[in-house]
């Protein structure tokens, strides 16, 4: 019994933090619902910027190449973060850490080779991801 009360007393601030966070979330949702604008018109979902109504179509179709480039950026950006963190703790990791980071980089290089072989990085030709047979 003493052990359970000790665990509860050590974690009481964590539970208070969780409850306070939930209270803040529900309070903000309630304020938005109570103070929000209730507009029932067809212009409700139109974009509004600087008090000027939009002219023309505001929806732009982007090429899938930009999404692939964004995914590549995220992948290699996270790789650089992991490599930086690893380089700080290189002395503590030793050879096992070196082998683990080589494995990590190897997997990412395999992904890059796959993208190159699928010609997803070729910007000059049209991109065909799926071949549809009619």
Question: Per residue of the chain (134 residues), what is the pLDDT tens digit?
Answer: 556 677 777 888 999 999 999 999 999 999 988 987 776 666 666 666 666 766 767 677 777 778 878 888 888 888 888 888 888 888 888 888 889 889 988 988 888 888 788 777 777 765 555 555 54
Q: Provide the whole-model pTM.
A: 0.46
Is-contact 64 127, C-beta < 8 A?
A: yes
Q: Which CATH superfamily is domain 64-117 in?
A: NADH:ubiquinone/plastoquinone oxidoreductase, chain 3 (1.20.58.1610)
- The domain ranges of the chain are 1-35, 64-117
* Phi and psi torsions of 103, nearest 5°: -65, -40
């Amino acid at each position: 019994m003493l052990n359970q009360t000790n665990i509860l007393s050590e974690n009481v601030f964590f539970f208070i933090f969780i409850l306070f966070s939930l209270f803040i979330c529900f309070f903000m949702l309630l304020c938005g619902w109570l103070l929000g604008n209730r507009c029932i018109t067809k212009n409700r979902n139109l974009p509004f910027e600087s008090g000027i109504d939009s002219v023309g179509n505001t929806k732009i179709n982007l090429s899938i190449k930009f999404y692939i480039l964004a995914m590549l950026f995220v992948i290699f950006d996270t790789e650089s973060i992991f490599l930086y963190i690893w380089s700080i703790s290189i002395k503590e990791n030793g050879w096992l850490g070196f082998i683990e980071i080589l494995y990590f980089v190897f997997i990412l290089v395999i992904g890059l080779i796959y993208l190159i072989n699928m010609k997803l990085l070729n910007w000059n030709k049209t991109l065909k991801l799926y071949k549809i047979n009619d």
